[in-house]
Amino acid sequence: MKFNIIEELDKLSALYQDDIDMVKNLILECNKHFNEEQIDLIIKAYKCANDLHRGQKRKSGEPYIIHPIRVAYILLTEMHLIDCDAICAALLHDTIEDTGITEEELAKMFNTDIAYLVASVSKMKNLNYASKSEEEKYNDCILLRNCAKDIRVIMIKIADRTHNMRTLIYKGDKALIEKYEKSNSPIEELKIESNAKQNAKSVETITLFVPLAKRIGAYLIATELEDISNMYLQNSTFREIRGNIKNFETKNVEKIEWILETIENALVKRNISHDVRAKTKSFSEVNRYLKRENKSKVSDVPGLLSFEINVEQEEDCYEVLNILSRLYKPYESKTIDFIASPKANGYKAIHFEVRNLSGYTIDFKICTNKMKLVNDYGISALTELYPNSNIKDIQDSLNASNPFVMSLQSIGDLHKDNDNYFKHIKREILSKQITITTKNGDEYSFPIGATVLDLAFRLHTEVGAKAIGAIVNGINVQTNYVLQNGDNVNILTDESKICQSKESLSYAMTSYAQREMRRALKKHK
């Protein structure tokens, strides 16, 4: 164990009693990842937050300090952000907004990074805007502009929103809160008649925080946030569909156990270190499919049941695929290799789909443990995957290659006023995305309305500057062709071409392509 953590916790316990067990859990978890100096700083952040929030209560009646402790714990254990400054900032994240301490004072007590992170997630109050929505839009703009400079900002804010949504029941009516506290049933099974505050928080979560969580690759958190929001916004449908999913699991429990046992035995026989589990789709995934396809039965959802198989090495993934292919040889099957050709968001896995004799499909997803970290937690897991890289190196890498960060920065560069800025944020980042593939099989995501020229500049500034058209699904098109979901695109270039014309600026929909084109035009002026 790193230094005498138990002795340190005993010292802490003598000072703070109300929430000491929760703090102990956080510090013990921190002890797995941080050195003595860093843990001292985290304990200092806790003590500071505890003192500043002393006497404050949450709607649940709990001491307020429990909220920042939970946010720090979510950030570390559920989002896998292994960063000392971020954990400190999570503990302090409400101090500027709710206690009156300033960014400058936090910088003197801790460091400029921690102070910047706390200030970045703090809402500005008393802005004299004409409406609450205008004030919220202003704060969202500040948050996203800060996120473009430091990706940890949005991670802390998503962890904060996650805990707030988990405890949203306490913004409800007293009768519902009493029913919840007396009930032994999970909150998901309660009949909830939500009020205006709960609805507003849920709508904001679905429109802002769910898309942002998806853009940074935090899919487990994004799914949970979407489900909780829908639990309040469409409670009757939520309980009905979740009930049907549970009934499906109960009805098929023997089949599920048999499949798990069959896979387990086959992998043990081949000495492949593994972890295998069964999983059903979330309420939101099922509900989207039923609405889109105008279906009513949960059992109609293809791939409702899937099996995730995690192994140590990439070569083991292909060995598992061979084993599954032999096990399910009599049935119709389909394989998609997202390891050889990762998705646009960095997702890597092999999907093996089996259709049984009755026409029902079961999905198998095979990946390494490291791939799973990225698949489930996205950018935030990079600190765990690359423990020898500091946060600045990771941020620099994101600035140069991550589409979400690059889009945030280019939108901020081109649109200084908040109205235009937020309009493009909604259009390019928060809206539904399409996916296209290149001739090499690489996958890219774009907002609806993106063109061939947007893709060309995403590939490389020189490709964009020299693009003269493309072959899309075997057909020649011009650079202003609007891409469609599923298109296969081969960009055509003219090496003698120096740059696009000024008129071509209107062909690009994304701020990134427009910014890069302007830079190229300026360079070749």
Which residues form the catalytic set? 97-98
Torsion-angle region of 489 (φ positive above 0: left; ψ -120 to 50: alpha; else: beta): beta
Helix (H) or strand (E) holding 406: helix 403-414
DSSP per position, 445-500:
EEETT-BHHHHHHHH-HHHHHHEEEEEETTEEE-TTPBP-TT-EEEEEE-TT----
CA count, 13 A, side-chain hemisphere, 404: 23
CA count, 13 A, side-chain hemisphere, 351: 14
CA count, 13 A, side-chain hemisphere, 309: 30
DSSP per position, 121-190:
TSPP-----SSHHHHHHHHHHHHHHHHHH-THHHHHHHHHHHHHHHTGGGGS-HHHHHHHHH--S-GGGS
The answer to whether residues 453 and 479 touch, using CB atoms and an 8 Å cutoff, is yes
The answer to whether residues 135 and 167 touch, using CB atoms and an 8 Å cutoff, is no
Burial call 404-439: b when 16+ CB within 10 Å, e when fewer: bbbbbbbbbeebeebeebbebbebbbbeebbebebe
Give the residue carrying structure tokens 């910088």. Answer: 107
Give every strand in the sheet of 475-477, ordered side by side: 443-447, 433-438, 488-493, 467-472, 475-477
User: Alpha-carbon distance 409 to 507, whole Å?
Assistant: 20
